[in-house]
Amino acid sequence: MRAPDQTASRREAMLAAILRRLEGCGSIAVGAASPLPGSAALLARAKWGARVLMLGSRRHNAFTDGGRELFDLAAQGRLDAFFLSGGQIDGGANINLLGIGRYPGALRQRFPGSFGSAYLYFLVPRVILFREEHEARVFPERVDIVSAPGTSPPEIYRRGGPVALVTGRCAFAFDRASGRFALETVHPGEDAASVRAATGFAYDAPAQVPETAGLTPEDRALLYGRVAAEIAETYPRFAAGLIAAA
């Protein structure tokens, strides 16, 4: 188990990697159980005024009818970015939110369920995948069940899909044409070998993998001040951890 300071460093690297993927986004939606992406979205709002819609929040959500309005907004092309995670994510950016084993009758472990993941995956142009835990069982070569596919055949209309996977060890970019991930950066304390050993799927990588650039001093001040206070309304324990790490 990592020391608390390493956990804070890992989360800060993830936030920095997600924030860079949000550059240029004017409208960002955050789903349920997403404190880390939510913090990155609120940091984007603090930096350039992005509109943030966060499910589970009263202060940072203009919706009055829950997920249905989020789906309508995505269908109208009015969302620039969204975040998805999964119990498993494979090398083709397929997500498993149902469980481990064979569906429906032989699941050894159940996950929360797909909700609207497949719908939003097809519609939002910039979907950032995230998972803080990074082990081979989480990132297998092929998920047990495809809740939401990372790519689609050419004859299927699809304007949305994955652009990156950010984990507690590294950041991958996703190439929709090849349907493969490429290792982009490794977080402090990791290297190409440690990422390879902890990843069950094949991916591309440069000869030299750079370290994930951290937050600027100005971004850190916003994160541990304004953003920590704002995210506390929805995720008080996560906010407390941010404040403790400041």
Residue 244: exposure state from Cβ atoms within 10 A (0-12, 13-18, ≥19): exposed
**Contact status, residue 208 vs residue 235, Cβ threshold 8 Å:** no
Domain of 114 in residue numbering reads as 4-245
More reliable by pLDDT, 221 or 58: 221
Structure tokens at 204: 């591309």
The C-alpha atoms of residue 1 and residue 92 are separated, in whole angstroms, by 29
Stronger pLDDT, 68 or 232, i.e. the higher one: 232
Percent residues over pLDDT 90 in the chain: 82
What angle do helix axes 4-21 and 35-48 make, rounded to 10 degrees? Answer: 50
Per-residue confidence at 5, pLDDT binned at 50, 70, 90? Answer: low
pLDDT of residue 21: 98
**Structure-block tokens of residue 202:** 């094949």
Q: What is the CATH number of the domain that holds 75?
A: 3.40.1080.10
Task: Provide the strand spans (E) within the chain.
Answer: 27-30, 51-54, 81-84, 88-89, 95-96, 99-102, 106-110, 126-131, 162-167, 170-175, 180-186
Residues 124-137 have pLDDT tens digits of 999 999 999 999 99
Distance of alpha carbon 100 from alpha carbon 110, whole angstroms: 7
* The pLDDT of residue 2 is above 60: no
pLDDT confidence of residue 62: 80
Amino acid at site 14: M
Instruction: Read off the DSSP letter of residue 83.
Output: E
State the Cα–Cα distance between residues 206 and 188, nearest whole angstrom: 18
- Mean pLDDT score of the chain, rounded to an integer? 94
Q: Which amino acid is at 242?
A: L
Name the domain count of the chain: 1
The closest alpha carbon to 34, from 83, 79, 99, 69, belongs to 83
